[in-house]
């Protein structure tokens, strides 16, 4: 009987109260399993799925038994992996890190110095970065010397020019780090690499990728490199999202501070938690599926507002590239909402986009008619696989003796 253990890569994406994870075979980067723990510290739940989306495990804990921090949650994940995937040996760990500032242009091997520097970026992404680092620290405590790689959501956008990277503020602000970093970079990088590998006829074209989900942004990619994006200094900028506002006149915020005496925390809660689709729909939902199923006037206005702003940003990014040849939809809404894709494309007919209604209804990869001047595509993103590729490439570049470590 063959008892050889499968070398594998563990991918960790730590949020404020959750840890998403995935395990990939290091030999061929095929996904073995993925899952997440939500509600860390309260009524936590654990769910694991196989690559064919079959649920392999579900657990919901009462509050007193739930994992109370990221260390405890990660140990639950590892214990499950130990029993369910007993033939798997974790060779390296890859982490999604939201912010790499202007320094980190590519993935990096994690050490104490890197962690210390990433902690200095907390002010740039206060709702994300601390939780990313908590996941890294928890994994280092569990895995010891196993190589761990940080992959940054901002890195893909570092090819933007100064003009598309700056704000019209005194230049000293740019020099101290107030600039348009952009996010969802791992998703855009995956889509870019997918097109290059599987749809090479469209690679290098003037492309807009619309990553539409609970968090949403768009990115202009030309000759395979990012040239502009809708998110800026924070993940608040750009189009409206599930509960995030998107672009807001700064005068509104001055008004809230000066005339309503709102403090920073109250404004933060408004912009991150109470706005976007949720706010416009009158508090109905931040979920596009719920809004599409609703007959309320407010839900329809929220949908129309979202679609119109997607259209506007597509054209804005096309203006940066002085043209548009390929439009790609991805993310939870972009991949699954027939209505949003159809509405956005139909409203852009005047720029030469022709929708193939049957292809859109069936969720085909190519959504546009053969006569369309702009090719429209639907591609499922896979940020975990992108992180796995980076982790594999960096960890295999190390001397073999540094990988011969034992998990604890």
- Residues forming the active site: 153
Cα–Cα distance list, 315 to 93, 209, 381 (Å):
39, 12, 22
Strand-pairing partners, residue 53, are none
Distance between CA atoms of residues 405 and 402, nearest Å = 7
What single DSSP character describes residue 366?
B
Distance between CA atoms of residues 289 and 300, nearest Å = 12
Distance between CA atoms of residues 302 and 288, nearest Å = 9
- Taking each continuous run of H as one helix and of E as one strand, the counts in the chain are 15, 13
Distance between CA atoms of residues 361 and 345, nearest Å = 13
Phi first, then psi, for residue 18 (nearest 5°) are -150, 160
Kindly give the pairing relationship between strand 326-330 and strand 207-211.
parallel
Query: By CB neighbour count within 10 A (0-12 exposed, 13-18 middle, 19+ buried), where does 403 fall?
Result: middle
Distance between CA atoms of residues 82 and 149, nearest Å = 22
CA dihedral sign, ordered 70, 72, 73, 74: positive
Q: Following CA atoms 81, 83, 84, 90 in sequence, which dihedral angle do they give, to the nearest 10 degrees?
A: 40
């Amino acid at each position: 009987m063959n008892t050889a253990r499968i070398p594998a890569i563990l991918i960790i994406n730590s949020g404020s109260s959750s840890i998403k994870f995935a395990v990939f075979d290091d030999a061929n980067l095929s996904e073995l399993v993925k899952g997440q723990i939500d509600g860390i510290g309260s009524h936590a739940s654990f769910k694991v799925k196989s690559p064919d989306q079959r649920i392999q495990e579900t657990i919901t804990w009462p509050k007193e038994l739930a994992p109370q921090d990221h260390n405890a949650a990660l140990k639950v994940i590892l214990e499950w992996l130990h029993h369910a995937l007993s033939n798997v040996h974790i060779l390296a760990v890859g982490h999604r890190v939201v912010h790499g500032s202007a320094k980190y242009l590519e993935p990096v091997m994690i050490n104490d110095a890197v962690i210390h520097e990433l902690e200095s970026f907390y002010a740039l992404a206060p709702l994300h970065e601390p939780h990313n680092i908590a996941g890294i620290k928890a994994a280092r405590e569990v895995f010891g010397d196993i190589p761990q790689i940080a992959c940054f959501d901002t890195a893909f956008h570092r090819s933007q020019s100064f003009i598309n990277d700056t704000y019209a503020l005194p230049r000293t602000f740019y020099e101290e780090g107030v600039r348009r970093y952009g996010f969802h970079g791992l998703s855009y990088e995956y889509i870019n690499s997918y097109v290059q590998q599987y749809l090479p006829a469209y690679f290098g074209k003037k492309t807009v990728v619309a990553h539409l989900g609970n968090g949403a942004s768009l990115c202009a990619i030309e000759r395979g490199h990012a040239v502009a994006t809708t998110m800026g200094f924070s993940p608040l900028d750009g189009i409206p999202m599930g509960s995030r506002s998107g672009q807001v006149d700064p005068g509104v915020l001055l008004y809230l501070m000066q005339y309503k005496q709102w403090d920073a925390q109250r404004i933060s809660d408004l912009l991150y938690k109470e706005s976007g689709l949720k706010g416009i729909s009158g508090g109905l939902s931040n979920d596009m599926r719920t809004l599409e199923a609703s007959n309320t006037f407010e839900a329809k206005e929220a949908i129309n507002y979202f679609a119109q702003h997607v259209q506007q940003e597509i054209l804005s990014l096309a203006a940066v590239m002085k043209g548009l040849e390929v439009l790609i939809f991805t993310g939870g809404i972009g991949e699954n909402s027939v209505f949003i894709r159809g509405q956005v494309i139909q409203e852009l007919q005047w720029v030469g986009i022709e929708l193939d209604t049957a292809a859109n209804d069936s969720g085909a990869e190519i959504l546009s008619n053969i006569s369309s001047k702009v090719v429209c595509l639907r591609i499922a993103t896979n940020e975990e696989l992108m992180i796995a590729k980076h982790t594999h490439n960096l960890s295999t570049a190390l001397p073999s003796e540094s990988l011969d470590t034992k998990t604890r």
